[in-house]
Amino acid sequence: MPHLPLATFLRPPLRGPRPSRSLPRPQPLSTQSEPRGSPVSRRNREAKQKRLREKQAALQAGIAGKSKSPAEARKAWSPKEIVLYEVPTEPGEKKDVSGPLPPAYSPRYVEAAWYQWWVREGFFKPEYQARLPQATGETFSMCIPPPNVTGSLHLGHALTVAIQDALVRWHRMRGDQVLWVPGSDHAGIATQAVVEKQLWKERGVRRHELSREEFLGAVWQWKEAKGGEIREQLRVLASSLDWDRECFTMDAGSSVAVTEAFVRLYNAGLLYRNHQLVNWSCALRSAISDVEVESRALSGRTELQLQGCPSPVSFGLLISVAFPVDGEPDAEVVVGTTRPETLPGDVAVAVHPSDSRYSHLHGRQLRHPLTGQLLPLITDTAVQPHVGTGAVKVTPAHSPADAEIGARHGLHPVSVIAEDGTMASPCGDWLQGVHRFVAREKIVLALRERGLFRGLQDHPMVLPICSRSGDVVEHLLKSQWFVRCQEMGDRAAKAVTSGALELRPSFHQKSWQHWFAHVGDWCVSRQLWWGHRIPAYLVVGEHAKDGGEDCWVVGRSEAEAREAAAALTGRPGAELTLERDPDVLDTWFSSALFPFSALGWPRETSDLARFYPLSLLETGSDLLLFWVGRMVMLGTQLTGQLPFSKVLLHSMVRDRQGRKMSKSLGNVLDPRDIIYGVELQELQAKLRAGNLDPAELAIAAAAQKKDFPHGIPECGTDALRFTLCSHGVQGGDLHLSVPEVLSCRRFCNKIWNALRFILSALGENFVPQPPEELSPSSPMDAWILSCLARAACECERGFITQELSLITHTLHHFWLHNLCDVYLEAVKPVLSRVPRPAEPPQVLFSCADVGLRLLAPLMPFLAEELWQRLPRRPGGRPAPSICVAPYPGARSLEHWRQPELERRFSRVQEAAQALRGLRDTYQLTKARPRALLQSSEPEEQGLFQAFLEPLGALGHCGAVDLLLPGAAAPSGWAQAPVSDSAQVYMEIEGLVDPHAQLPLLAARRHKLQKQLDGLTAQTPSEGEAETHRLQRLASLRLELSKLERAASHLWQLMDGSPSLGEH
């Protein structure tokens, strides 16, 4: 449609009423500007013009009037009536939408029945999407980060789902073949720990009292009983996953992929077995990954109650120990240690080669303070001479740093801590079998008795804690399987540098490059029963060709391994005895294969050919290195391709106070608690059913009671999803609060009421026009369609750039500020005409149809419920669901765009606000007074003329007319400025009693002045708080100025002269 010039909307100019006399200028207060002719007025005028420019910019940005964004509104909540959908509907049948809409939005009514129907109809399957009329022939594939099967989803998972589902639904609506693969992770350590606790609680048996097969049977029973909870949560969140392709990292297909990956990496020389240091959890008796080690910073002495210790253990202490110099009775070297229990494993003392304090002792030997054995004093540049005494003890068997020093100097490590955390046999009978932290006290006592204890002091340190057991992590020498990461890591780093792999936000590239520049080999052995058993076999009685070491072979089956063993040893395979490694693989190993194993790899499946590499990997930034990095390494190595070319990382979800979500803080919420609402008693019961110790439980319960004293009200899925997506997920951490989600529920109610109005306006026999045929003839219709086309353009841009906060802001502004606050109010008088014009209903339909389709990826339940009730356009086959309806494209609506009309309409909105401001000032609640607009600029006067009828509706006035430029205002009419060139007048004589109104104005002024004085007296601060204070000051001064002007006008009506301040 060609843009109609604004002149086509204009009427012949109207003559304004001739006033009997002009209104006198009010006397200025300190809060007002000087008169225009004053020499000091130039700065005030410039400031005023700046404020007007800022106001117009705010209008363009969508911050109109006093409305607040969903993230800002903080209204009190009152319980709402829950309306239920009670029409008998079999699961998978389409919901009955023939009845009337309930009077208010109720999430449970809206969200009923739709999801089962979507799944049954196959809307989430790429095979269905290939048949859509808008099919593009392109594919879009993603996999969900597989959550641990042990637990339930929290709000961090909900954020991931909300972002991914919005992107998936948009691609599906635009016509791409979309595959979003669901799955869950077997979570080796976590699941085994949960089942072990259950077995002890219910049957009183330990894992080692059962056979491996019996224990694994119990785990599978638990998984089948509990594993469905995550699936249910994902459905409640409206996740449009292809459930027929659901994966579990312990299913048969995954097991084949894991075995194949292990064999291929081994054959490529990237997997090896070695005796070296690993992170060890003594409580779990297993190696653990880096991601399962929490680094707890201690500022000084800290007591912790640990499993197996009769009393609390002190950490954050530096103990000084003397090592006598051999052959010099009075000479000693004092070293500091925070781990005296490792003293029996010391094999040397090291100093920096340039440290002059010890240069005379280079090459000398020292006496071990416990055993008296001779230890070398060595020099190594890794020692920091300015830390402590500049001398350190070297314990290669229990410290990675010491292991490096030991390797450089050919020192033999001595292991003194056993797998269960007790002291080992090399310590001697007096310590063997003693818990390591009990042994600590015995060792310190022995040092005192021998006169070699030199003091104790607080010492800041970082304590490694096992996140699964809460025990202190040890470094133990173990024979384990390791993945060589340097070569694969170099490729991963180069992929980002070359641009082949894009990380967003881009600031994550620094962490990526640093991690891969220092990546070490990855220990993949775990001493568990639940997990993928390592496909490696010990050839009993044979040794490796290089001598000494055990002989190990790898195979996809025992038969294949036996063939490899025969080739390696030169003996017939039937004569060899093979024992399979009892360990399982790190859970992260199978997770790293998920993007291609979920599609059928190593088999050459059609899914693998069509959808691999994935189009996008979206996940939390905390998984960048441990999961994303490993997927890139193994995916590139095993498939020859990057598993995805784009990575989108969102931030961590924190609570309203900025705290990390933690069970011990009581702020971890099941998304369903926000969706359905929950009583405080139920929240507290969930805490008690968890595994918190009594002290943590008391803290968490108190925090929960403080945060949710009345529980959590029902907010609904759509409100939660929209709120999560409204945050800038590519920036800092996301601070989420329940009031934000409640505000978004109110936004849902606004949309609900808008559709109730539109459906009522359309009537029963309404027939929609195609969008390309809709050509507006009124300026109001042209304006709203232009806003709608702009919203479609912004949403398209937001989805392309994956900036979902841009989309939520755009949709919130269109539905609330453009459609509900402006157009629906302006069109009501038009719809009441007889006969009713044909065009406004067509515009209303287009706003509803296009607006709901724009909203559908973010609010799928609400959009479907309302869209299904819209009349269908004649001709063609309509889409059965909004899920697969075409997403509005910017190009298809370009003919509605009129940016200049939108820009100029902002001045009309300012005039409407000025009229409403006059009503508020004079407390006109029910009256609809006449109003006049006057501008000294002909173009602006013509603009107002085109919108006189909408201005009456938006300004809550009666008849609105124009006052000719230069004409005097009528007597007794109130005045307010719109701009430097325009003002509005409102008839108040006979509507306002000056004698009654003046005291009210005085009281309001007194209250505002008190607030102004308080803010002015505050000490200026910095940052956002100061900006808010200055904005509030400006707002108060503006309000005071309005009140003074109103008071002066009322005095004029009374023919009096005193000012309000004198009243």
Question: How do residues 444-489 score in pLDDT, each as one tens digit?
Answer: 999 999 999 999 999 999 999 998 888 999 999 999 999 999 999 9
Q: Is the model more confident about 4 or about 670?
A: 670
* Residue 1025 confidence (pLDDT): 80
Confidence bin at 197 (pLDDT 50/70/90): confident
- Please answer whether residues 756 and 773 qualify as being in contact, where contact means their C-beta atoms are separated by less than 8 angstroms: no
* Residue 76 confidence (pLDDT): 54
* Residue 1024 confidence (pLDDT): 75
Q: Give the whole-angstrom CA distance, residue 556 versus residue 261.
A: 10
Judged on CB neighbours under 10 Å (0-12, 13-18, 19+), 181 is buried
* Residue 53 confidence (pLDDT): 47
pLDDT in tens, 730-748: 666 788 889 999 999 999 9
Q: Give the whole-angstrom CA distance, residue 949 versus residue 356.
A: 92
Range of lowest pLDDT (539-543, 641-645, 947-951): 539-543
Confidence bin at 31 (pLDDT 50/70/90): very low
* Residue 242 confidence (pLDDT): 98
Percent of the chain residues past pLDDT 90, beyond the cut: 67
DSSP state of 660: B
Average model confidence (pLDDT) across the chain? 88
Give the type of residue at 174: R
* Residue 1000 confidence (pLDDT): 84
Confidence bin at 407 (pLDDT 50/70/90): very high
Nearest to 898 by CA among 5, 52, 64: 5
* Residue 227 confidence (pLDDT): 74
Inform me whether the pLDDT recorded for 417 exceeds 90: yes
Rounded to an integer, the average pLDDT of 494-498 is 97
pLDDT in tens, 215-239: 999 999 988 887 788 999 999 999 9
Rounded to an integer, the average pLDDT of 1003-1011 is 88
Inform me whether the pLDDT recorded for 23 exceeds 50: no
Q: Is the model more confident about 770 or about 116?
A: 116
- Please answer whether residues 640 and 611 qualify as being in contact, where contact means their C-beta atoms are separated by less than 8 angstroms: no
* Residue 55 confidence (pLDDT): 44
Confidence bin at 729 (pLDDT 50/70/90): low
Q: How far is CA 271 from the centre of its chain?
A: 36
Checking DSSP bridges between strand 461-466 and strand 374-379, what pairing results, if any? Answer: unpaired
Range of lowest pLDDT (85-89, 128-132, 655-659, 680-684): 655-659
- Please answer whether residues 433 and 423 qualify as being in contact, where contact means their C-beta atoms are separated by less than 8 angstroms: yes
Helix (H) or strand (E) holding 482: strand 474-483
What is the 3-class SS of 54-85, one letter each residue?
HHHHHHHHCCCCCCCCCCCCCCCCCCCCCCCC
Inform me whether the pLDDT recorded for 152 exceeds 90: no
Point out which residues pair with 325 in neighbouring strands. 366
* Residue 700 confidence (pLDDT): 85
Q: Give the whole-angstrom CA distance, residue 740 versus residue 674.
A: 11
Dihedral of CA 845/846/847/852: which sign?
positive
pLDDT in tens, 624-653: 998 999 999 999 999 999 999 999 999 888
Confidence bin at 549 (pLDDT 50/70/90): confident
Range of lowest pLDDT (290-304, 331-345, 648-662, 675-689): 648-662
Inform me whether the pLDDT recorded for 1063 exceeds 70: no
- Please answer whether residues 63 and 812 qualify as being in contact, where contact means their C-beta atoms are separated by less than 8 angstroms: no
* Residue 454 confidence (pLDDT): 95
Inform me whether the pLDDT recorded for 45 exceeds 50: no
**Residue 847: both structure tokens together:** 């706003």
Cα–Cα distances in Å, from 759 out to 755, 764, 900? Answer: 6, 9, 31
Give the type of residue at 303: E
* Residue 73 confidence (pLDDT): 41
3-state percent breakdown (helix, strand, coil) of the chain, nearest 5: 45, 15, 40
Q: Give the whole-angstrom CA distance, residue 227 versus residue 146.
A: 12
Q: Is the model more confident about 1016 or about 742?
A: 742
* Residue 885 confidence (pLDDT): 97
* Residue 1014 confidence (pLDDT): 87
The CA-to-CA distance between both ends of the chain, in Å, stands at 60
- Please answer whether residues 313 and 441 qualify as being in contact, where contact means their C-beta atoms are separated by less than 8 angstroms: no
The total of other beta-carbon atoms located within 10 Å of residue 971's CB is 14
Q: Which residues contact 492 (CB under 8 A, 6 or more apart)?
A: 501, 512, 516, 629, 632, 633, 636
Percent of the chain residues past pLDDT 70, beyond the cut: 90
Q: Give the whole-angstrom CA distance, residue 299 versus residue 288.
A: 26
DSSP state of 26: P
